[in-house]
Structure 1
């Protein structure tokens, strides 16, 4: 892939984010996305087979970026931190990603918009699941949440953090808990999960 071809692909992905953000995923057409970049509708076919293909590429990019941000947050936790600190850090990174990339985050979890069986998407989702489960397993080895099976605890934690991310992104938390920040709520989630043990 030449540099100009790669650049166009990236420009189409950014234009897709902009178009989805302004028109919504249902109304974001390839034609409108191509218009934002200043290319013909047919030019998108060189990179993406259809709209779902473009959205799938955006979702893959999102999962890869999410993985990078979660891994960086986990790595930043001091070695002497308590057992659940890396779980909390991963949850905080997840929420920050949702707030920082709301369109990408939304597309990542909308299988009806994607080619859900695309190999790169399946791989990216699998790596995200592996990181979640691995983070919980490491915390359990250090004594956190030990009485709950690892996969179950990871899914309960993911559901809690995902819900918190969506509520925070959609400005619903401010109505219910205007004085509480997301980091404090994440620590409460971690304590609640640990209490399951």
Structure 2
């Protein structure tokens, strides 16, 4: 019986070790920060040998790169969950993308900083590049739906992309860092109140940019 249990544990770690190491890496990053991050600490959390993380990710940078790529995929999934719950008009969908962006940052602050602010991930790695481009395309496709033009081909639409990204990312960063607490009293708000406030802020940016760059035709 003991031999069977030992064999099952070995099979589990062999089959799902990469995913388990990513989960352990995120816990280590969240609790102890990036400066003390090491493969040894991650292996200890995952309950595996010290050499196991290196076998899958080579070194700490490789593991952090894979974790950042995973983060971008989870970011898109969080945004899509918000879109699924939102009204189907393009304005509501674009606001939902921004709310999902902020949701992800609030739920995963250490990972959010790794993805967007850290120099530790190797951004030349194809998997990370593809994951980050997919997240960027989520924003681009929303703006494309709103303005009816392809942003890379239209300077006005591209300004809209940057304004929308700056609004969502700026709010996320200010809230996660605590700097939005004084002006917004954010921690005292209910989830519903928070969503209403953030939606109003993003809607105001969305409406102003749309009116400036894509005014209605003259009667």
Alignment TM-score, normalising by the size of structure 1: 0.86
Q: Distance in 2 between matches of 1:55 and 1:169?
A: 20
Return the match for 1:108 from 115, 120, 128. 115
In structure 1, the gaps of 5 or more residues are none
- Helix, strand or coil at the partner of 1:41: coil
What whole-Å deviation, never above 9, does each CA across 1:102-159 have from its counterpart, x for those lacking one?
22212111351111110011111111111101101101239xxxx9722221122111
1:78–1:160 distance in 2 versus 1, CA, 3 Å = closer
1:6–1:111 distance in 2 versus 1, CA, 3 Å = farther
Alignment RMSD, CA only?
A: 2.2
- The residue correspondences of 1:36-185 to structure 2 (distance < 5 A) are 36-79=45-88, 81=89, 83-141=90-148, 149-178=156-185, 181-183=193-195, 184-185=197-198
Where in structure 1 do 4 or more consecutive aligned residues deviate above 3 Å?
Answer: 179-182
* Matched-pair contact (CA < 8 Å) for 1:66–1:94: yes
- Helix, strand or coil at the partner of 1:171: coil
* Matched-pair contact (CA < 8 Å) for 1:74–1:86: yes
Aligned to 2:13: 4
More helix by share: 2
Does residue 13 (structure 1) correspond to residue 22 (structure 2)? The answer is yes
Give 1:175 shift. Answer: 1.7
* Matched-pair contact (CA < 8 Å) for 1:34–1:40: yes
Give 1:77 shift. Answer: 2.6
Give 1:87 shift. Answer: 1.3
Alignment TM-score, normalising by the size of structure 2: 0.78
Return the match for 1:33 from 39, 42, 46. 42
Give 1:40 shift. Answer: 2.4
In structure 2, the gaps of 5 or more residues are 1-10, 213-219
Q: Distance in 1 between matches of 2:14 and 2:74?
A: 22
- Helix, strand or coil at the partner of 2:51: helix
The number of residue pairs the alignment matches comes to 190
Q: Distance in 1 between matches of 2:103 and 2:58?
A: 31
